[in-house]
Amino acid sequence: MDHTESVRTPASWVVVGLDNGGTCNNATVLDATGRFLVDQLVENPSLVQEGPESAVEQLAAAFTDILTMTSTPLTLVRAVGLDTPGPASADGVISSKGATNFSQVSWHGFDIRGALEQRIGLPVIYNNDANAAALYAHHRHFRPYAMGRSSVAAIVGTGLGGGVVESGRVVSGAAGMAGELGHVQIPLQGVLEDDQPMPQCNCGFEGDVESVASLTGLKKNLLPYWLARFPDHPLAQEPIDKAAKLLRSYGEKEDPLALAVFGQQAKAIGKLFTIAANFTDPDAYFLGGGVVEAAPKFRQWCLNTVREHTQLRREQIEVATFALVPDLDMAGARGAAVAALDRVQSM
């Protein structure tokens, strides 16, 4: 056991982190000394497809269950951190146009943060899921120095999420839309092949980061082009959804088609990080998403390719670090809890 762990005194209070996803909620508890009381994934069904009422009840159940599981009295809880997929306002109001996970009309413009706060009678601090994961990556990496450092995180999933952290806190912006890194348009010289069509994003932009570095971009833009160039490839026979899912296993085997596709995604993220370098000049650049679960050698190749295509000045190279986002499946709940802890400490 880590010596510092064994001599810690019991904390006088805690915060709870709740990560709301399309199928499950994930819960954790963080004590006032910054120690997580849960080291595994603790989930319950999120029921978001049944509408806000069921979903808020499920979040309340996740809250009660995690306290029971960790033998934490309710009276010790000072606040709850909540994260959900976006788009939502900085204060947890789901977009008036709805969202992928919140398609029912009853979700449009729904204040999920306020509803949970009312239901459990404790302050609820909101972040979108990508920002929560970025915040956790930051605090996990910098630990006691987190409040004095800055970072940017790009997380590759269905879309390209992420976040910008300054002095240990998420930059949320006036409308809560800061850190929407997927929709930053990037220079595509050196990323696309000469005859490759301009990638289109669902947001209406073309040539933004998400149009290349996301599962959606992979299916819509990259794979159709590359499979046409490798007509004899086994994936050329598969439906595009299946081909996209299988691609990582080919990358791990250093398959040329897979490396060409993932190489383009890594270059696109490198271009994004180059913009970040000139914009906020962060201490750390984090890469997250499915790649974190890939075989170590392939994972490292992805991170190295991102790094090679991030143009830093010599002074920046000396201080900047590149790392993978750890504990991805727990990162949302943990980041939400970190935000709640910070809020209580600064009250």
Residues binding Zn ion (CB under 5 A) = 183, 201, 203, 205, 208, 210
CB of 210 to Zn ion, least distance (A): 5
Q: Are 312 and 275 in contact (CB under 8 A)?
A: no
DSSP state of 222: I
Q: Could you tell me the smallest distance in angstroms from the CB atom of residue 177 to Zn ion?
A: 12
Instruction: Copy the structure tokens of residue 96.
Output: 């008036």
Residue 77 CB-density burial (10 A; 0-12 exposed, 13-18 middle, 19+ buried): buried
| SS3 category, 251 | helix
Give the up-direction half-sphere exposure of residue 53: CA atoms within 13 A in the CB hemisphere.
2
Nearer to Zn ion, 186 or 258 (CB): 186
Q: Which is nearer to Zn ion, 183 or 220 (CB)?
A: 183
Nearer to Zn ion, 205 or 230 (CB): 205
Nearer to Zn ion, 79 or 181 (CB): 181
- Closest separation in Å from C-beta 212 to Zn ion: 10
CA–centroid distance for 280 within its chain: 19
Nearer to Zn ion, 83 or 208 (CB): 208
Look-up of token digits 């599962």: 215
* CB of residue 2 to Zn ion, shortest distance in Å: 43
Query: Are 91 and 126 in contact, with CB atoms under 8 Å apart?
Result: yes
Q: Beta partners for 36?
A: 30
Nearest approach, Cβ of residue 251 and Zn ion (Å)? 24
Residue with tokens 């008036």: 96
